[in-house]
Amino acid sequence: MTHLISILILLLKIYATKSCSGISLKTQELYALVFLTRYLDLFTDFVSVYNTVMKLVFIASSLAIVWCMRKHPLVRRSYDKDLDTFRHHFLALASFVLALLVHEKFTFEEIFWAFSIYLEAVAILPQLVLLQRSGNVDNLTGQYVFFLGAYRAFYILNWIYRYFTDPHFTRWIACISGLVQTALYADFFYYYFISWKNNAKLQLPA
């Protein structure tokens, strides 16, 4: 639910303000790639209607955000292109190479599942770099990143629980990835709570 809330906040920001200022297109493109490669099992496995709908929601929403930032006549004007210069294709390439080397099974779906897990761990980097460069963070953007980080933190609790209670749980790759991503959010969380405590605008050190 925290993941859904983060997406809804981002869509609300874009729809209500007709602006994507403070949002990294590079990060959104990486997330779109994450969901497209992780949910390849849509074509082979059916778990439940809920499971299928949620996968489609994540794919469709990520693609919609990328489309708005690239093609929408009003939204794309506010894109911070000069600040969003992180070379995200290196993250994708490194994640793919790592997936080829470290995976649970050498199959098409498992390789791309591992790739999506590794990529999701670092996909937030362009967004955090953009926010650090801009300094001031508007409320909706700050809340989007906060709920995105909270989603990963709760996921770690889920993986720890399953590790001790599910004898067939073998997704150790996801556990490590989640820890890495939560560590990346740590600095942002600190400044987020400081601003919340002081009822002040969120600012990140340059």
User: Residue 182: its pLDDT value, please?
Assistant: 63
Mean pLDDT over the full length of the chain: 82
Which residues constitute the domain of residue 56?
2-197
| Cα-based angle 28, 15, 135 (whole degrees, multiple of 5) | 55
Residue 206 domain-assigned? no
Q: What is the pLDDT of residues 126-164, one digit of tens each?
A: 988 888 787 767 777 778 888 877 887 787 777 778 777
Residue 109 domain-assigned? yes
Alpha carbon distance 137, 195 (integer Å): 11
Q: What is the pLDDT of residues 159-185, one digit of tens each?
A: 778 777 877 655 656 666 666 666 666
Number of domains observed in the structure of the chain:
1
Alpha carbon distance 111, 100 (integer Å): 6
Q: Residue range 50-59: average pLDDT?
A: 92
Q: What is the pLDDT of residues 188-206, one digit of tens each?
A: 666 666 665 666 556 555 5
Alpha carbon distance 79, 20 (integer Å): 6
Residue 29 domain-assigned? yes
Global confidence as pTM: 0.82
Report the candidate in 87, 150, 170 with the shortest Cα–Cα distance to residue 122: 87
Residue 204 domain-assigned? no
Residue 108 domain-assigned? yes
Residue 7 domain-assigned? yes
